[in-house]
Amino acid sequence: MKKVRLPSWLLAAAVAGVMSAAPAMAQTSLKMAYALSANSHYGAGGEAFAKSIEASTDGRIKVQQFANSALGGEREVIEGLQLGTIDLAIVSTGATLNFVPKTGVFDIPFLFRDLPHARSVLDSKIGQDLLGEFNKRGLVALAWGEQGFRHLTNNTRAVKTPEDIKGLKIRTTENPIHIAAFRHLGVLATPMAWPEVSTALQQGTIDGQENPLSVIVSAKLPQLQKYLSLTSHVYAPAVVMVSPSVWGPLSDEDKEKLKAAALDGAKAMRAFVDNVEVSGVEEVKSQGMQVDEVDYAAFAKAVEPVYPQYYKQFGQELVDSIRNFQ
């Protein structure tokens, strides 16, 4: 039988095709999505992640960032991770609890004493075990990022006591844990996707919203709100995630590099929060916002009757282990 000699160009193309199909691709670009601006704590985390993975893979893996909900709201982004249409994301637990309900335990009001307490819990076995829960929902969580403690802003009146907050129409995330506490306080809690909030505030559809200082500053909320109350009512983690369709084919070495990049992103978010907790109050004051301290103990006492609901939902042992963590 006569042998057929392939042209050199065709042989080269065939080899290239085989090479591109191999798990260790020569180069790939991953899409990372998040809801906030590039100059936010999410942006800081995304940039640190991108630099870390590019450096550790000698440029073989690059990250393209899509800020400001360019690829959809947080729910859509998480669904995109599951479907493989989005590669990487940084999202709030306000969105993840709809997919991994146990993560909602961190959203219980007045659960954490301060930032060191919250960070130590997330870095402990408690936090790491909860990252593992994502695998059961077709998701891969790489690291806990951070937003900081949530505070209240509004356009109606200064809020210093639980009495002051009654009757205000406040935007919340789609988070039943937050909503239960706010409604107990007499707030007209209004779940709303983040991209809709600015318009709703401008039109007066809602009186206010609640978010960490990192969001309040980066989203330019002083231009839309008169009053900031330092309620510190909920600590807000974030989660750095990767799509299983990206994660699965990776070598063990590249998986470790992706985990390391996520931790670098998380560190950058914490550093951003540390800075904005100091500078953010002065920043919003300079833009004309009235900033008020609140009666923290009175607020904590006011939501205590809701805790049995949280015990039933998450288990009193887990809630108390977080509350009392040293």
Question: Which CATH number do you get for residue 252?
Answer: 3.40.190.170
Closest C-alpha among 175, 170, 210, 208 to residue 186:
170
**Residue 116: pLDDT band by 50, 70, 90 thresholds?**
very high
Q: What pLDDT is attached to residue 40?
A: 92
Q: Is residue 10 part of a domain?
A: no
DSSP 8-state class, residue 5: P
Q: Is residue 299 part of a domain?
A: yes
Which runs of E-coded beta strand occur in the chain?
28-33, 61-66, 88-92, 140-154, 169-172, 188-191, 208-212, 227-242, 290-293
Q: What pLDDT is attached to residue 277?
A: 86
Closest C-alpha among 117, 80, 81, 122 to residue 105:
122
Question: Residue 311: pLDDT above 80?
Answer: yes
Q: Extract the tokens encoding 131.
A: 């990252």
Q: Is residue 224 part of a domain?
A: no
Q: Is residue 82 part of a domain?
A: yes
Question: Residue 309: pLDDT above 50?
Answer: yes
Is the Cα torsion angle 253, 257, 263, 266 positive or negative in sign?
A: negative
Question: Residue 7: pLDDT above 50?
Answer: no
Question: Residue 1: pLDDT above 70?
Answer: no
Q: What pLDDT is attached to residue 17?
A: 42
Domain count along the chain: 1
For residue 35, give its domain range. 29-147+237-323
Q: Is residue 308 part of a domain?
A: yes
> Could you give the C-alpha distances from 96 to 130, 210, 236, in angstroms and in order?
11, 18, 12
54 burial (CB, 10 Å; 0-12 / 13-18 / 19+) is middle
Q: Is residue 314 part of a domain?
A: yes
Q: What is the pLDDT of residues 174-192, one digit of tens each?
A: 788 999 999 999 999 999 9
Question: pTM, whole model, 2 decimals?
Answer: 0.82
Q: What is the pLDDT of residues 131-183, one digit of tens each?
A: 999 999 999 999 999 999 999 999 999 999 999 999 999 999 878 899 999 99
